[in-house]
Amino acid sequence: MRWLACFVLASLTLLGGTAVAKPKNPNDKGTTRLCSDDGGKRKCKRVAVFQGHNANKSTLRTEPLSKPSGDIWLSAENLGEEIKVNIYKEDGTFDDAALAQLDELFRCRQTGEVRAVRAELYEQLSRMYDHFGGKKVQLVSGFRFAERNSSRHYHASAMDIRIPGVSIRDMYNYAESLDAGNMGIGLYPTSQFIHVDFRAPGEPSYRWTDWSGHSGKKSSKPKSPGRTQPARKPVS
């Protein structure tokens, strides 16, 4: 099982250090050796590979979110494709054709399956694009059809992203500021990306740090179509 909160403070402190090295391979007890350079002295500690906790309700956003520009510049690093779109029409409603283009870029890398990604996730992506100066966002992973059905990736409501030139800590902090409830936000220091999702209805917001690295392993069991939304049809 995953080890939880007992090592949270140690790992977050190291994330704020001057130079944090990549952790060694995790052992069979679910911990990894993490080293940092602090004032010329190398310090090492064992931390849990995974640390997670429900977000404190007092830290969640209470003010309404302002509407983003709708602009998104997105590159799918595993597909070698990128697009620039605006998710809104002139009247401020969602542009289904633009959403369908993004859905295509969010498609499952392993199976090629396309699903209609939750539009509110694209709005959060546009807010991040706006906040970080219109820099191109790299999509590490979007919809994953070959995935356990408990994953928000499987339900087309999650994204793993990075922005070149922007620290994942800054991205993580800003993503947290957008959470008015029902969001999951994860930090992946080894692979240098953050995860942002919308939880299943009724689930609390959740935060985690995962030092294990991103796995590209293929699922050994094919899945039948599940509870995700069907793909949007591009319209003119």
pLDDT at res. 35: 80
pLDDT at res. 3: 42
Segments of the chain scoring below 70 in pLDDT:
1-29, 34, 214-228, 233-236
The total number of residues written for the chain in this structure: 236
Cα–Cα distance, 178 to 66 (Å, whole number)? 10
Start-to-end CA span in the chain (Å): 49
pLDDT at res. 116: 98
Q: Delimit the CATH 3.30.1380 region(s) of the chain.
A: 55-210
pLDDT at res. 42: 87
How does strand 81-86 pair with strand 193-198? Answer: unpaired
CATH class of 55-210: alpha beta
pLDDT at res. 229: 72
Cβ pair 20, 36 in contact under 8 A? yes
Sequence-ordered alpha helix ranges (H) in the chain: 8-15, 96-105, 119-131, 168-177
**Selection from 195, 162, 193, 198 nearest residue 74 by Cα:** 162
